[in-house]
Structure 1
Amino acid sequence: MSQNEYATAGDGYLTEDRVMIRDSAREFCANEIRPLADKLDPEKGEIPDALIEKMAELGYFGIMVPEEYGGLGLGVFEYCMVAEEFSRGWMSVASLLTRGNGIFFNKGFNHDPARKKEYLERVATGRFLSAFALSEPNTGSDLSSIACRAHRDGDDWVINGAKYWCTFADRADSIVVFARTSPPPSADKRHLGISAFVVEKPRGELPAECFGAPIPKIGYFGWKTYELSFQGTRVPHSALLGEEGKAFYIMASGLESARAHTAARSIGLAQAALDDAIAYAGERRQFGQPIAEFQAIRFKIATMATKVEAARQMMYDVCNKIDSGRRCDTEASMVKYFASEISEEVTSEAMQILGGAGYTTLHAVERHWRDARLTKIFEGTSEIQQRIISDNLLGRSQSDRRIVEDAYSRKFE
């Protein structure tokens, strides 16, 4: 029994409803996700459509969609709690949750209630899953410097440029593309002039006049991650998400939730590795006794469990703040940073406990370890989180301001 199995209703943040949601997600993971992951991940296979359909039937793509649009009307807390449980089986499936749940549509179409209703009702039922094209070959964390462009042509917009790290691009119903539609007004407002477009397309295909190829990865299997080239992709003006030139605010409004979600995935991976290490330590015998009897192993597990629970409680606190409407950008960066760091540590220690067996694809620990490594990179690297935290505590450094001003003057002179 893992340590968080003891958490029941009345334990801090966990109400009876939340315990029921958590336990249901845990059961779904054990019965549906983990068996598929154990089979398909070693083969670099893809998440089956049948599993996506089951997730849709159970409402997992509408956790945060308001009830008036057919969703469950729950919060970031429940969303992250489910993501943690799913990651115990396969992090890629937990990441599928972001393809629904109206991450950008909920706020992006506040100015157009009819359009908002149209999208969110489809999202809630899993009939409208999205991929997101933000990063580019030369642009990662500094999204204000994207080079992809879109220009107005009559009633349409025409998109040109390259995008990188677009996961699920082929199987999604749309790709939300961020592109610059006007130059920034000044060095300190480089984030302005970027717009977002909902590029709809058939499942199994890329958009018209968009070409791409999967990026070879060492993990995060279950789906493909693409490098894309938009070469005159045309979309109607109605595809504009939010106000023209202000897509940065749509993206920024979801950062706290996105970082909490990545923390949840990190914690799920760490918990899964801890569970597997505990089970293996009880079964593996050396020198006439289970290795769980050796103090070195016992102390490793104690340290691993402590780190996992510390990250979980921090995540619960951040999710509670987000759902309460309180700003917590510092805390969100802290939990993303801490959870991803301990996830790599815990999964690595689990592999050490399994020894040679852990270095094979016969055990899931190596999968958890590979995927945990990614959590320190996506949704803002650990170094970016440290920068955000330190900037919020100490103020931006003079050198940082000079770098921004110099980059602006050289790029737009």
Structure 2
Amino acid sequence: MRGATRQVSRKINRQFLLLLGRGRPGLPFVAMGYGVPDSGVDFAYVSVQEAYLLMKNDKAVFVDSRDEDDYKTSRLQTSFHLPANALIMKGSSVEKSLVQHLIDLVNSGKTLICLSDACIKGNVNRGHVSRCRHIAQYLVELGADRSLIVRMAGGINAWKRAQLDGILGELRPMYAGEIQNWDFAPPKLKEEESEDEALPEISPAKGAGGGYVAALSEEAALAVGQQIEISGLKTRAELNGKAAIVKDFVADSGRWEIELLDETKERLRCKPESLLLKSAKQETPKAVEPAEVEVGCGGVVTENCERITCKVRWVPSRPFRQDQPTAYRVLKSDLFKKPNVSGDKIIKISRPVSSTVRTTGELFVGASGGIWAELDVTAGEKKGWIYVKGPGFGASSCKVTSEYLQA
């Protein structure tokens, strides 16, 4: 067993030297902004809504590529931390066991979602590639399945703007180590400005984090709250003919933000000429939450943008609150569950390490100081309370605090 461990360690060390030194054999070394050899490989994107559902269905692993200070200020629940800067500036600080663990999770079938502040496009200017793309390429170079590594469009800032639960720390957008206003948009190179009719980014919610409200154009024929039909899209032609509701006007881009009226509730930013006003007499259909939806969970970037999709359980989001975890990453395979808070019965259950336990955000502190979290039945968990951390059970554990789950 020890020999096998040493063999794996030597393999990783050789791969680290290749990445931090000459680059991959047979490929030219191209230094990216943070020193990681650039293989020229980019990755498929998932929207924050897709990433959220993958998390709530225990189908994804999140890796935060930002610096340690950024990660401590604000992070996504259950995420691992693998800073892109550390790969070259502090190579010895990179935890090799974590890298191997992430590769193993991907190769076992988990979707690995790389994220940064804003997930800039980063495939034009090779000197300033997005940190999440650095990490994705790095893991592929070390043997992770490329087709199961994706990037989250808009980064953690898009998650915040969508007001999805699960943010720990600062709720406002961040960029380059600084907290930003809700109307912040990351700078783009001229070559990187997209010509797409529909963009995946989510705009700031009205009244969030300081009361940001977008200014409406006086000449705009449309208005917030009107029902429209999408028409004339080229890059997202499958959306033409679909009904949507106007949510906001983004003055900087001259586009309207709309929300589809189907089960996806996807939000897009479209040019005015791509939106047809529906009859004022037509009633807005009531939203029906589907049992299942199809989401992106991988893919390989080609001319045809080949995405891998999978069906997942629809899980509605919970209130957007600071430091209220609704998902935890399993640290120990043996966990403890109470059917209810008032009873004394405790059940021992097993979950794979690094799998996700979904909760409602409600906590209960037991008589001995242990913290229990209420399991979320809407996300597929069975009713009850799961032990998060505390002194454990038994006379010998009274003075020792053990962590079983980590947000």
TM-score range (shorter-chain normalised) is under 0.3
The structure whose residues are more often strand, as a share, is: 2
Provide the TM-score with structure 2 as the length reference. Answer: 0.25
Provide the TM-score with structure 1 as the length reference. Answer: 0.25
